[in-house]
Amino acid sequence: MKVLKFGGTSVGSVDRLRRIPQLLPSDETAIVVLSAMAGVTNELVKVTELVKDRKMADAIQLFKGLEDKHVEVASNLFKTKLYKKMGEEFVIGLFHPLMKKLVNGIDNLNKYIALGEQLSVGLLKLLLAEQGYKVAYIPAFEFMRVDKDNEPDYFYIEQNLRRQLHINPFAKVYVTEGFICRNVNGEISNLGRGGSDFTAAIVGNVVNASEVQIWTDIDGVHNNDPRFVTNTSPVRQLSYDEAAELAYFGAKILHPQTINPCRIKNIPVVLKNTLNPTDEGTVITTLSSKSGIKAIAAKDGITAINIRSSRMLLAYGFLKRVFEIFEAAKTPVDMITTSEVSISLTIDNASNLNDIVNALSSFAHVEVERNQTIICVVGDFLASHKGYAARVLDCLKEIPIRMISYGGSNNNISLLVDSHYKVQALRLLQQLFPAVKQANSVLDEVDAQ
């Protein structure tokens, strides 16, 4: 069984939706995980923000616009009158009760945010049915659930997903929503923005898929962020570790948590371009293609915290005290550097920052810097090879660097810069690629001796 996930742009228009059946495997059963049509989740989030601001007329107008957009898609997507009618009725049937609540009072705003995926999945299911596929809809709300720590509840998911598949034993294609789930109390929730990739990975894990394919609008993972750097190129092979670092440190093409569920079961993750399906894309497995620098990513919205102890920092017990505070605040730490008297570390979730600073201030001097960016250089940096860090720093010699972290793993050199320098840093680091090829060949020669 294969799991295929199609992102927002891959379901973003009638034309794109019509391409999906051609991309399904002919030889294996498929579970198709869909995102909302491009831009729709953003608009739904806006609707919920307008509701919170009590701007109900604006919320209703925006919501109505989304209904009209989907009705239009339904009226153009299908060939037969019957399916056109079913499509339009399906869309109106989903909007109608939520529109009523918008007027009369809302209970759970996440119901609105979930609508985008429900719409695209329902429309694709009808399209496949019209074309004669043996297709079954398996609602994500019937099996996708997170626990009290917002982690996937694998036991629950496995039991319920298997039940859903068994209810429809003759289907060759199952369709389900990405992103949306229930929380520990069974309420409607989601896996966070961009979470459809994560859904696909969790589903792949649970059904022991032979492959998880992530279909998007670009030919795989590029060696730098194509939104800011022009001459990027696809990386054909990445190890799970390399891909996880890139996803975690900002490569938008993959939701940060996508790799782990597949790594655990050794399931290949393949990133493919819907607009150019014959391109090989990027394959992620345990194998790394070769040593050296593979790709660069950047993660914004980072807060740096400098903690200076009046006593000797590395007196034992000090670090424990510091990290207990982050644990109590349920705030993960990304980068850490230490000196004799202080620690600098970074967090990307500053929602409990005040509590953290108050607690740390009881035994240390604390300084906070917001608007920082982690620049992450990813590759396979064998400890025996020389020169990687030097090359990275050489590219960035014009940029003030706030922190450097190297050696935590063989796969990552991270640098913290003020967000103001992010784009400049990414562009300067692109010089690494032609230069690194030469460096590698020199290093390979050294190895061969």
- Using DSSP's 3-state secondary structure scheme, residue 144 falls into coil
Strand partners of residue 337: 344
Q: Which of ligand ADP, Mg ion, ligand ASP, none is residue 222 near (CB under 5 to 8 Å by kind)?
A: ligand ADP
Q: Which stretch binds ligand ASP (CB under 6 A): 193-201, 228-236, 363-371, 426-434?
A: 193-201
Q: How far is the CB of 246 from ligand ADP (least distance, A)?
A: 6
Q: How far is the CB of 42 from ligand ADP (least distance, A)?
A: 11
Instruction: Find out whether 210 and 204 touch, Cβ atoms under 8 Å.
Output: no
Q: Tokens standing for 210?
A: 């032979």
Taking CB positions, which residue lies at the least distance from ligand ASP? 196
CA angle 263–167–14, rounded 5-degree value: 70
Q: By rule CB under 6 A, what count of residues binds ligand ASP?
A: 12
For the segment 29-68, give every residue that binds ligand ADP (CB under 6 A).
35
Residue from 100, 227, 330, 386 binding ligand ADP (CB under 6 A): 227
Q: How far apart (Å, rounded) are the C-alpha atoms in residues 402 and 387? A: 21
Phi (first) and psi of residue 223, to 5 degrees: -75, -5
Q: Where are the beta strands (DSSP E) in 16-131?
A: 30-34
178 touches ligand ASP by CB under 6 A: yes
Q: How far is the CB of 227 from ligand ADP (least distance, A)?
A: 5
Quick one: DSSP state of residue 222?
Answer: B
For the segment 246-275, give every residue that binds ligand ADP (CB under 6 A).
251-253
Instruction: Find out whether 247 and 259 touch, Cβ atoms under 8 Å.
Output: yes
For the segment 166-185, give every residue that binds ligand ADP (CB under 6 A).
none
257 touches ligand ASP by CB under 6 A: no
Residue from 12, 87, 194, 256 binding ligand ASP (CB under 6 A): 194
- Determine if residue 9 is labeled as part of a ligand binding site: no
- Determine if residue 198 is labeled as part of a ligand binding site: no
Quick one: DSSP state of residue 47?
Answer: H
Instruction: Find out whether 279 and 213 touch, Cβ atoms under 8 Å.
Output: no
> Distance from CA of residue 95 to its chain's centroid?
27
112 touches ligand ASP by CB under 6 A: no
Residue from 194, 234, 250, 379 binding Mg ion (CB under 5 A): 194
Q: How far is the CB of 429 from ligand ADP (least distance, A)?
A: 12
Residue from 3, 8, 374, 443 binding ligand ASP (CB under 6 A): 8
Contact characters 353-392, ligand ADP, x per CB under 6 A: ----------------------------------------
Distances from the Cα of 254 to the Cα of 209, 313, 336, angstroms: 18, 38, 24
Q: Which of Mg ion, ligand ADP, ligand ASP, none is residue 440 near (CB under 5 to 8 Å by kind)?
A: none
Q: How many CB atoms lie within 10 A of CB 368?
A: 15
Q: How far apart (Å, rounded) are the C-alpha atoms in residues 34 and 82? A: 24
Residue from 217, 280, 369, 418 binding ligand ADP (CB under 6 A): 217
Taking CB positions, which residue lies at the least distance from ligand ADP? 7
Dihedral sign for Cα atoms in the order 272, 277, 281, 287:
positive
Q: How far is the CB of 228 from ligand ADP (least distance, A)?
A: 9
Residue in 154, 248, 149, 256 with CA at minimum distance from that of residue 197: 256
Contacts 24+ apart (CB under 8 A), 356-360: 356/305, 356/325, 356/326, 356/329, 356/331, 357/305, 359/325, 359/328, 359/329, 360/305, 360/307, 360/322, 360/325
Q: Which stretch binds Mg ion (CB under 5 A): 1-9, 55-63, 175-183, 328-336?
A: 1-9
- Determine if residue 250 is labeled as part of a ligand binding site: no
Residue from 2, 3, 4, 9 binding ligand ADP (CB under 6 A): 9
Contact characters 280-299, ligand ADP, x per CB under 6 A: ---------------x-x--
Show binding-site residues for substrate: 41, 117
Which residues of the shown chain bind ligand ASP in the complex (CB under 6 A)?
7-8, 35-36, 41, 116, 178-179, 193-196
